[in-house]
Each structure stands twice: as structure tokens, then as C-alpha cells.
Amino acid sequence: MVRGRPRVFNIESALDSALHLFWRKGYEGTSVADLTEAMGINTPSLYAAFGNKEELFRKILDRYAEGPAAYMREAFQQPSAREVVEYLLYGAAEATTNPETPLGCLTVQGALSSGEAGDAIRQELNARRAGGEAALRDRFEQAKQSGELAADVDTEQLACFYATIFQGMAVQAGAGTSREKLQAIVANSLRLWPS
């Protein structure tokens, strides 16, 4: 049996490099040459280890969700619907302005800089964002059923409102808005929580 040469690069480090590169440049703004340079590997190694650019990006989205964006999953573990929103938005203010990572949100920035060639990725990013909004709506429905939210609260509109705040914060952070300004946006949006 003929064996291939063993990998001589650290997969975790290579994925972190790809994550930051996609985050800074978006899906379409990142070339395979950019990836191989940042990851410290050659093109055949990239394809052998990670598949094509689209497959690598999907892996990066999962890595992002488990790493820098883990606060989103943690938000849904909070005991009340209002605390879910508070944790989510303050988490976004911190994560999108973290000086150790690129500014903004990978899923928002990636979709903003995708054209026709990246249509499949744009659809993936849109589906992930829609899934987040649906999760908020479902959590608000639970809150409505338990009496935490009034019976007349439109949970779909409430979820859309807070998802829009969340995504808008990501766009603002990507443009350089400070953490303090984003935290003020969070505080103001929480004042609009239905009582």
C-alpha cells in the first residue's frame, strides 16, 4: 500500500488563519492563493485537507459558531427571554469589537461582500441568520405561553426587531463603531422590551 506524505501543518492553526482571513476579506474577497499563503500550505494540501474553497468556508462558519460566536448559543441558555436578548446583544457588542479578531461579524460581513459568484455562500449565510431569527421567535413564543410576555405580543415582529438590531450592530462594528456606542444601542433597544 502506498501512503501519501503526512501532513506537515497544524490543522487548527490553519483553520484559525482561514477564519480570520475570511472574516476580514469576505468569501469572495478571499482567493485560494490568499488562503494558502495565510494558512502556510500549498494548494493541493488545502484541497486534500479541507475540500474546495466553499467547503472550507462552511467549515469556517461552524468553527466561528463554536468559537468567537459561541455567545449566541450561550444566550439561549439564559432563564428569561429578555435575558436571552440582553446576553445576545451585549455579547455581540463585545465579540464584534474584540481587538484580537477582525471587526464585525463573519456571517454578516461575508454576506455583504458576496456577489453572484458567491451566491451559494450568500444563501448559506442568509439561512443561518434566518435560523437565528427563528430561534428568537421560538423563544419568544415560549415566553408568551409561560406568561413572561403578554398574549398580544407579536413574537415574529419582536424577533425581527432584535435580529435587525443584532445585524445592524455587526455592520456598525465592521465600520469601526466603538464598543461603548454599541453597548448604548443595546441599552436603548432593551428599553423597548414589551412589558
Q: What is the pLDDT of residues 153-178, one digit of tens each?
A: 999 999 999 999 999 999 999 999 99
The ranges assigned to domains in the chain are 11-64, 68-190
Of residues 129 and 9, more confidently modeled? 129
- pLDDT for position 42: 92
CA distance 130 to 62: 16
Going from the C-alpha of 80 to that of each of 18, 59, 86, 123, the distances in angstroms are: 36, 32, 10, 31
Mean per-residue pLDDT of the chain? 92
Choose among 101, 125, 119, 121: nearest CA to 174. Answer: 101
Give the homologous superfamily in CATH for domain 11-64: Homeodomain-like (1.10.10.60)
To the nearest whole percent, how much of the chain has pLDDT over 70? 92
Query: What does each C-alpha distance from 64 to 22, 29, 58, 106, 114 come to in angstroms?
Result: 11, 18, 10, 8, 18
Give yes or no for residue 111 having a pLDDT over 80: no
Q: How many CB atoms lie within 10 A of CB 2?
A: 3
Of 191 and 10, the structure prediction assigns the larger pLDDT to 191
The whole-number average pLDDT for the span 18-28 is 92
> CA angle at residue 20 from 15 to 25, to 5 degrees?
125
The pLDDT of residue 115? 66
Question: Residue 8 above 90 pLDDT?
Answer: no
pLDDT value at 183 more than 70: yes
Closest CA to 89 of 176, 26, 162: 162
Q: Are 134 and 65 in contact (CB under 8 A)?
A: no
* pLDDT tens-digit series, residues 29-72: 899 999 999 999 999 999 999 999 999 999 999 999 999 999 99
Compute the distance between CA of residue 25 and CA of residue 40 in angstroms, rounded to an integer. 18
Under the banding of pLDDT at 50, 70 and 90, the label for residue 148 is: very high
For residue 89, pLDDT over 90 is answered with yes
Predicted confidence band of residue 119 (pLDDT cuts 50, 70, 90)? confident
CATH superfamily, domain at 68-190: Tetracycline Repressor, domain 2 (1.10.357.10)
